[in-house]
Chains A and B, each alone.
Chain A
Amino acid sequence: MNCGEFVELVTAFLDGAMDEPTELRCLTHLAECDGCETYLDQFRQTVAVLGEQPAQSLPTEARDQLRGAFRALWRD
């Protein structure tokens, strides 16, 4: 396996979505390629930062309207 092939397999590798021989080839490639090890690590960090995205929220007005709609349904 070369680096150009490895970089296309990172998501499958992280998802555990590859057959055993391919996974083994990835592991042996990583063991001797610090460039790809770094690439993999950067992918992981990118995913981690994505998971930290601050929540957006509905405007208060919309939120209040929805709560009102919920309440109204139960008042009927």
Chain B
Amino acid sequence: MAGARELPPDEVLVQRLRDGDEETFALVLDTWSGSMLRLAMSFVSTRDSAQEAVQDTWLAVIKGIGDFEGRSSLKTWVYRILVNTAKARGTKESRTVPFTSLLPEEEGPTVDADRFRAPGEPYAGHWAVGQKPQPWHIPEDHVLRGEVREVIAEAIDELPPRLRTVITLRDVAGYGSEEVCDLLEISPGNQRVLLHRARALLRRKLEKYLSGAHDVAGGRGRA
């Protein structure tokens, strides 16, 4: 995880926060706010609103740390406050993201059907001629790798909100599937469908970008 620092164990963190240790507060603030901002973006419509949701969350944490019972990890507790805060803002902006069931557009194949041999053909359902994924080489070069990260960042922003929420938690913030189900109150099956769709969309973006980058030797690829 980029920029993540080792935090002391929860008991230590919580005690220090309760003792009013500002350095500890600054440490958790700086360590978590980045991924909290990304997460908040899935529920609200503007960057400013996401920022306010994160600020409101921290204010609630400051005031409520005395009531934290340690039944979840401190991080899960903080993120759950954020999810609820951001959801409430999203509702006001009429941009709710209910997770109870899958939407029709979230089902069905994640890879274009015409990349596979048609039913009835020999080897039906296997990669069609010329459609097989070609191996990639994500460049080691610092600048080029930065470009790849940018392509991914843009692609994350373009994802439908529910897909963005799940992939942000799982792959950007590094949560396990159980924690994500718990945080968003979704079933493991739905979580996996949303994550898989999001990853497949991003893989496709990278495929497009990297094949374009190969055509234009040394130049910027077409996204």
Contacts and interface: CB of A to CB of B under 8 A. Distances in A.
Interface of A: 2-5, 7-8, 10-12, 15, 17, 33-36, 38-39, 41-43, 45-47, 49-59, 62-63, 65-67, 69-71, 73-74
Interface residues of B, number: 59
B79 to A, nearest CB: 15
Given A47-B199, A50-B171, A62-B55, A3 B126 contact: yes
A46 B20 CA distance: 41
Nearest to A75: B20
B72 interface: no
B195 interface: yes
B172 to A, nearest CB: 5
Contacts of A8: 109-111, 196
Given A35-B133, A42-B207, A56-B34, A17 B192 contact: yes
B138 interface: yes
Contacts of A4: 109, 111, 113, 116, 125-126
B45 interface: no
A50 B163 CA distance: 14
Contact of A73 (B63, B127, B134, B156): B63
Contact of A38 (B51, B132, B177): B132
A47 B203 CA distance: 9
The 3 lowest CB-CB distance pairs between A and B, nearest first, are A2-B125, A55-B34, A74-B20
Contacts of A34: 132
21 contacts: A2-B123, A10-B196, A33-B126, A36-B127, A38-B133, A39-B203, A46-B199, A47-B171, A49-B138, A50-B167, A53-B2, A54-B2, A55-B4, A56-B34, A56-B38, A57-B33, A66-B29, A67-B29, A70-B62, A71-B20, A71-B22
Interface string B44-64: 000000010011001100110
A43 B4 CA distance: 23
Contacts of B4: 55
Given A49-B138, A57-B34, A59-B51, A42 B203 contact: yes
Given A11-B199, A69-B59, 6 more contacts: A15-B192, A38-B132, A42-B133, A49-B149, A50-B167, A51-B174
